[in-house]
Chains A and B, each alone.
Chain A
Amino acid sequence: QQQVKQSPQSLIVQKGGISIINCAYENTAFDYFPWYQQFPGKGPALLIAIRPDVSEKKEGRFTISFNKSAKQFSLHIMDSQPGDSATYFCAASRGQKVTFGIGTKLQVIP
């Protein structure tokens, strides 16, 4: 059972454009929603995270939008840069139990 559905699986965006990755979850008990960024040959690293009591969180060019009623959340990367090219994983957790999305491979072309 895929508890966190992530789309798209791959994304190509022009430099300066907006990258948008979407995730949907099923378990309403989840209370922490992080996004991880993984560069080739490296382990994933936390990028930004949100809790369900807020609808949006922004850190620099990265924004999470959260819709509790729809059980959906998304990552927006503004002014996308070639250095943002990586695989992005959404996740949902409660306590130490974490469920990851399948990942989105983002390519930002000059």
Chain B
Amino acid sequence: GAGVSQSPSNKVTEKGKDVELRCDPISGHTALYWYRQSLGQGLEFLIYFQGNSAPDKSGLPSDRFSAERTGGSVSTLTIQRTQQEDSAVYLCASSAQETQYFGPGTRLLVL
């Protein structure tokens, strides 16, 4: 693949449901990042993976949020018992060195 891909591109869910967001990084990129961007806002750091391990989970807003990365490639971000304040665009980025390459994001709407 040419770039970072994310799925789904849009997700509408009901309050209280669990959602899984997927990120496919650029092949060979060892670092993977998740960010949250609320409407018109900046990039809120959530979690960073180096390979399969997550040395920095400091941005996860609550224990309802978790993420994993398998095989040093695909990552999933899981939000349990979604709340309306979780509505945002969730961006994934990968990098080999300093430059981050972002995916198009998943737009999550919690009703």
B42 lies within 8 A of A96 (CB): no
Q: Report if A102-B42 is in contact (Cβ < 8 Å); known contacts: A49-B98, A96-B31, A96-B48.
A: yes
A44 interface hit (Cβ, 8 Å)? yes
Q: Main SS of the interface on chain A? A: strand
A22 interface hit (Cβ, 8 Å)? no
A43 lies within 8 A of B95 (CB): no
A93 lies within 8 A of B98 (CB): yes
Which of B11-19, B67-75, B78-86, B100-108 participates in binding chain A? B100-108
Nearest Cβ on chain B to A24's Cβ, whole angstroms: 15
CA A100 to CA B100, docked complex, whole Å: 11
User: Interface size bucket, A side?
Assistant: 20 to 34
Return the chain A residue nearest B98 by Cβ: A32
Within 8 A of B (CB), among A51-110: 89, 93, 95-98, 100-103, 105
Return the chain B residue nearest A94 by Cβ: B98
- Residue of A96, A97, A103 with most partner-chain B CB within 10 A: A96
Counting residue pairs across A and B whose Cβ atoms lie within 8 Å, the total is 50
A36 proximity list for chain B (CB < 8 A): 100, 102
A44 lies within 8 A of B42 (CB): no
Nearest Cβ on chain A to B1's Cβ, whole angstroms: 14
Q: Which of A42, A89, A101, A103 contacts B104 (CB 8 A)?
A: A42
A44 proximity list for chain B (CB < 8 A): 43, 91, 100, 102
Q: Report if A103-B98 is in contact (Cβ < 8 Å); known contacts: A43-B91, A43-B105.
A: no
CB<8 Å pairs between A and B, sample of 17? A36-B100, A42-B104, A43-B4, A43-B93, A43-B102, A43-B104, A44-B91, A44-B102, A46-B99, A46-B100, A89-B43, A93-B98, A96-B50, A97-B56, A98-B100, A102-B42, A103-B41
In the complex, besides A96-B31, A98-B33, 10 extra interface pairs with C-beta distance below 8 angstroms are A34-B99, A36-B102, A41-B104, A46-B99, A49-B99, A89-B42, A96-B50, A100-B43, A102-B41, A102-B42
